[in-house]
Amino acid sequence: MSVQKLIETAKMLVADNKGLLAMDESNPTCNKRFAKLGIPQTEEARRAYRELIVTTPSLGEYISGVILYDETIHQQKQDGTPFVQVITEAGIIPGIKVDIGAKEMAGHPGEKITEGLDGLRDRLKEYFHKGARFAKWRTVITIADGIPSLGCIEANAQALARYAALCQEAGLVPIVEPEVLMDGVHTLSRCGEVTAEVLQTVFNQLYRQRVILEGMILKPNMVLPALTCSQQESVDEVADATVNCLLRAVPAAVPGIAFLSGGQSGELASARLNAMNLKFKSRLPWALAFSFARAIQQPALELWQGKEGNVSEAQQALLHRAKCNWAARRGEYNAAMEGTGA
C-alpha cells in the first residue's frame, strides 16, 4: 500500500463526524461480561453477539471503522457471510487488534508491558489479506505511589512505535493506544502530567521509528481524575484539561485523535467529547473522535441477554449510542438525547 493510501484511510477513519467501534475484546474478557449477565460463554454465543453488532442497520452512518479480535475476523454470519464482508458492505472499514495483552513487567512491580511484537510482521500480512485496513495496539500505564516509572513508559512507547512502523509497512493504519488508567485515587492534574509525559515519549519514539504521522490515529485516554478520587471535576474542566494536554503533546500532522472510554459511562463519555468539540473544534489541528467499546456496546449487551428475540431492541440501543457520539463530534450532544432515544 502506498503512503498516500495510508493517509487516505487514516482520514476516512475520522471523517464525517464518525468514530470507531471497538469490538476487540479478547475471548476471556468477552466471557466475563457474558457471565455477569448469564449468557453462555461459548464461541457460538460470541459469534451471535458479534453478528448482532455488525448487522445493526444504519451503523455505517455513525461508525467509520470497527476493531475486531482475531477470533472475530475469521467468523461469519449464520448464513455463512464473512463478518469482514458484512462490515465492508456497510461502508465501514475493518480493523484488527494485534497485541497479545499487557503482562507484568520484569523489575517493575505494579507495571505492565504489552507483548506481541514477535511474529507481528507475518500476522499483519495475513490480516491485510483478510480485509483489515487498520490495526490497534494498547499499552496500559498505571498511576500509583512511585509509578509510572520512566522505564515502563519508555519500553511501552518503543513497542508502540515498532508496532506502528510494521503496520505501515504492511499497508495498515496503526491505531496507537497509550492508555493511562482511571484506576486509583489520583487527581485530574496528576493524570494530566502523566498523560503528557506518556504522549511526548510515544511521539519521540514514533519519530525515531520513522512512522508517518499523517497515516496513523492516536487513541488516548481523556485527562480524568481517578474513579475513586474525592474530587471529580466538571465536564467542561475535563474538556479543558484534555485538550490543553493534547495541544502540548500531539503533533499537528496526526489526522485524528479517537478517545478510548476507559470505564466511563456511555453518557459521560459522550458529554465530555461533546464539550471538547463544542469549545475547541474550530481551533484544533486534528479531529477529536471516539473509539469506544463498552460506552457503545454495554446497553445493547444488557438488552440482548443472549436471546434471539432481543436482537432488534439491542441493535437500536447500540445505534443510539453510536448516534450520540456522532452528535458529540458535532458539538450537538445533550442529555435530552438520552431521554428520547433520538
Give me the active site residues, please.
177, 219
In Å, the largest CA–CA distance within the chain is: 54
Q: Which amino acid is at 211?
A: V
DSSP 240-286: HHHHHHHHHHS-TT--EEEE--TT--HHHHHHHHHHHHHHHGGG-SS
Region of 157 on the Ramachandran plot (φ > 0 left; ψ -120 to 50 alpha; else beta): alpha
Whole-angstrom Cα distance, residue 122 to residue 128?
10
Q: Classify burial at 52, counting beta carbons within 10 Å of its beta carbon; exposed 0-12, middle 13-18, buried 19 or more.
A: buried
Backbone phi, psi, residue 284, to 5°: -100, 145
DSSP 176-194: EEEEEP--SS--HHHHHHH
- Give kind and range of the element (H or E) at residue 153: helix 150-169
The SS3 assignment for 166 reads helix
